[in-house]
Each structure stands twice: as structure tokens, then as C-alpha cells.
């Protein structure tokens, strides 16, 4: 069966295979060139007013700014593109209850920019590596990405705990309307811009809902900004709980802040996963029947998917 995205294009089945084998894939022509040209135009005034970055990682010949959803509303179409969201969920869903937006950033690589320090984006968190994918990244070329103007360099096979010894990067060339999708564990960096023209792109990244995102989404989109968002977009920028109860506001889902001023006194309400609801119901039944579990029993709530035994101190 052909899987059609709402853009009316068939979803290319080879992308999943590329992503698994090489740690990246390119989704060609999934947005219209007109749509990208409009976004490009909308970026002009802000780039003109934005100073160059400071520091060797960002690069002194680059310009960047975030918060794209409040600055250029059309970026929502890229952020929530169905073909992208399908892949995001495929990679991240096994490790979390909800996914969240990690970053939206517009980036210009000016003539003379040197190649960026190769890095893995997930290294900003200090968790175990080689087991979990914490993040996925999407680079949307706004100008054509060519080897000469600094197309993103990716080390194929460097994902998970892949070795990079003797490995060579590939310059991922792509046209506006295509998306370069890579894992948080994939080694990459911007190439050198050896042309006389600016290379422009938009980075959108998504991470596990229980992590601190790179761009502070709640400050970038406070309730006054997020109120105008579609509820699914608001959830993506953090107005949702990650069960159990993570990211609550006075014990409730933070989306209550989008409905106006919440009452001063709120009842905290459990937000638990079904498996936790089940364990809790069993516990409460036992409690009601006077069969309290012995001290040192199994604590299910808050133990995540991998149940952990909690030792009693008593
Ligand atoms: O501009 C690019 O091609 C990659 C940028 C990047 O990886 C970064 O800024 O962390």
C-alpha cells in the first residue's frame, strides 16, 4: 500500500533503512519550494539585524536565532510535517511517554566559515550512550546545500556507539524542500563555506519528553505566546505532562495555563501511565482488603518501564 503524506507525496520506504544503517537519511522534496521561499523571505529582516555568533563551536562566521514558531508561523508546517513526525516517533517513542521540541533555529553560514567541530548532539546530556536515542535532528536547507557552500557533514555509521576511526564524512547535498534527518548519536557538523554566498538552513530537533531541552521551550513560548498555538503544537513545546506527573503545574497539566488564568487553589490530579494505574489499583485493592504489601515490596509508581525494586529502610 502506498503511504501518502497530507502533502500528497508517497513516503519513501528507503529512508527508514538508511536511518538505521547510516544514522541519517534524506527525505527529498517533501515540502514545496514556494513554501520554503516564503520562509526564506521572512527570515531576511531578522538575519540582517542578528549579530554574528561568538565562540568556536557556533562559529564566528555564522548567525543563528531560535524561537522560530513565534517569529515565522509557517515553520509550524516543517515542525509538524507528517513524514518527519513519523520518523521522530519511530526513533524516540520506545524511550518516552511523550516527545518534545528540542530546538528550532535558523542558521546562516557566511562566506569564509570554516568546518564546524564534529559533534554528536546527544552529548549535551550525560546519560549512557550506545543504548538510547535521546534526540533526532532535522536540517531543512533554505538555500541549496552543496559541498562547496558548507553542506552538513555527516559520518555515516557513527550512530549508536559506531566507531569513527578512519571514517570519512559525506557532505549531504540537498535542495530546499528536502530534509536531512539524523540521529542525536550521529557525528556531524557544518561544512566550510568556500563560496561567496550565504548558506541558509533551519534546524528543528526533537527529544525525549523527560529531558531538559536545548532551547528552553517554556521561556521561548510562555503561555501568552503558546495560547495561539494548535493544542498539538502547544503540547510539543511542553504544555503537556510526561507521565507520571512530570512537568506539572500545581499538580495539573500545564496546558491549563493556556485557558486563561487558572484558579489559585488547584487539586493535584494523578497523571499515570496505564501500567502504573494498574499497579496502583492493585495496591489500593489490597490496602482496602487489609492485605498491605510487606515492607520492601515492589514500588511500581515512578519506576518507569523497567520496574525497579525499592528496598525498605525499615
Ligand atoms: O549547519 C549545519 O550543517 C550543522 C549545524 C550543527 O550541527 C550545529 O550547529 O550544531
Q: Given this structure, which CATH class describes domain 14-236?
A: mainly beta
Contact criterion met (CB below 8 Å) for 136 and 88: yes
How close is the Cα of 281 to the center of ligand 1, in Å? 48
Q: Is 227's pLDDT higher than 80?
A: yes
Looking at every residue in the chain, the average pLDDT score rounds to 90
Rounded to 10°, the helix 82-92/14-22 angle is 40
Residue nearest to atom 7 of ligand 1 (CA): 189
Q: What is the mean pLDDT of residues 45-70?
A: 98
Strand 99-109 to 199-208 pairing = antiparallel
Atom of ligand 1 nearest to the CA of 188: 7
Q: Is 293's pLDDT higher than 90?
A: no
% of the chain beyond a pLDDT of 70 = 89
Ligand 1 contact, 205 CB (< 6 A): no
Report the SS3 class of residue 8.
Answer: coil
pLDDT band at 10 (very low <50, low <70, confident <90, very high): very low
Indicate the domain borders of the chain.
Answer: 14-236
d(CA 214, CA 122): 10
Atom of ligand 1 nearest to the CA of 201: 1
CB atoms within 10 A of CB 243: 20
Q: What is the pLDDT of residues 111-167, one digit of tens each?
A: 999 999 999 999 999 999 988 999 999 999 999 999 999 999 999 999 988 777 778
DSSP state of 55: S
Ligand 1 contact, 200 CB (< 6 A): no
Residue nearest to atom 8 of ligand 1 (CA): 189
Ligand 1 contact, 201 CB (< 6 A): yes
How close is the Cα of 251 to the center of ligand 1, in Å? 38
Residue nearest to atom 2 of ligand 1 (CA): 190
Ligand 1 contact, 152 CB (< 6 A): yes
Ligand 1 contact, 188 CB (< 6 A): yes
Cα angle, residue 38 at apex, residues 15 and 83 outer, rounded to 5°: 20
Q: What is the mean pLDDT of residues 175-198?
A: 98
Ligand 1 contact, 189 CB (< 6 A): yes
Least confident of 60-64, 127-131, 292-296: 292-296
d(CA 257, CA 266): 12
Q: What is the pLDDT of residue 162?
A: 76
Give the largest Cα separation in the chain, rounded.
Answer: 78
Q: Is 308's pLDDT higher than 60?
A: no
Atom of ligand 1 nearest to the CA of 189: 7
Q: Is 205's pLDDT higher than 80?
A: yes
Q: Is 309's pLDDT higher than 60?
A: no
Q: What is the pLDDT of residue 166?
A: 78
Nearest to 125 by CA among 211, 13, 202, 243: 211
Ligand 1 contact, 146 CB (< 6 A): no
Ligand 1 contact, 141 CB (< 6 A): no
Q: Is 232's pLDDT higher than 50?
A: yes
Atom of ligand 1 nearest to the CA of 64: 9
Contact criterion met (CB below 8 Å) for 215 and 66: yes
Using most ligand atoms within 8 A of CB, pick from 23, 116, 198, 214 the residue to mutate for ligand 1.
116
Amino acid at each position: 500500500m502506498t503511504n501518502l503524506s497530507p502533502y500528497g507525496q508517497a513516503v519513501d520506504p528507503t529512508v527508514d533503512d538508511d536511518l538505521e544503517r547510516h544514522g541519517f537519511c534524506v527525505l527529498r522534496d517533501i515540502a514545496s519550494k514556494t513554501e520554503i521561499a516564503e520562509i526564506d523571505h521572512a527570515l531576511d529582516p531578522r538575519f540582517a539585524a542578528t549579530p554574528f555568533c561568538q565562540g568556536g563551536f557556533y562559529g564566528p562566521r555564522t548567525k543563528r536565532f531560535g524561537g522560530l514558531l513565534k517569529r515565522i508561523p509557517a515553520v509550524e508546517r516543517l515542525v509538524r510535517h507528517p513524514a518527519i513526525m513519523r520518523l521522530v516517533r519511530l526513533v524516540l517513542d520506545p524511550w518516552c511517554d511523550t516527545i518534545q521540541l528540542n530546538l528550532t533555529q535558523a542558521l546562516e553560514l557566511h562566506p569564509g566559515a570554516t568546518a564546524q567541530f564534529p559533534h554528536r548532539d546527544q552529548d549535551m546530556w550525560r546519560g549512557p550512550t550506545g543504548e538510547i536515542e535521546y534526540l533526532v535532528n532535522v536540517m531543512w536547507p533554505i538555500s541549496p546545500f552543496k559541498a562547496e557552500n558548507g553542506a552538513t557533514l555527516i559520518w555515516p555509521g557513527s550512530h549508536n556507539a559506531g566507531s569513527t576511526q578512519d571514517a570519512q564524512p559525506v557532505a549531504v547535498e540537498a535542495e530546499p524542500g528536502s530534509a536531512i534527518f539524523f540521529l542525536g548519536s550521529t557525528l556531524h557538523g557544518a561544512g566550510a563555506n568556500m563560496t561567496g554566498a550565504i548558506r541558509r538552513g533551519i534546524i528543528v530537533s526533537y527529544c525525549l519528553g523527560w529531558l531538559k531541552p536545548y532551547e528552553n521551550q517554556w521561556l521561548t513560548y510562555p503561555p501568552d505566546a503558546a495560547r495561539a498555538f494548535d493544542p498539538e503544537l502547544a503540547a510539543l513545546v511542553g504544555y503537556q505532562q510526561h507521565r507520571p506527573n512530570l512537568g506539572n503545574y500545581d499538580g495539573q497539566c500545564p496546558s491549563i495555563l493556556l485557558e486563561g488564568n487558572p484558579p489559585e487553589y488547584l487539586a493535584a490530579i494523578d497523571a499515570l501511565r496505564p501500567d502504573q494505574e494498574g499497579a496502583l489499583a492493585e495496591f489500593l485493592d489490597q490496602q482496602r482488603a487489609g492485605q498491605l504489601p510487606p515492607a520492601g515490596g515492589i514500588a511500581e509508581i515512578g519506576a518507569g518501564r523497567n520496574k525497579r525494586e525499592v528496598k525498605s529502610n525499615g
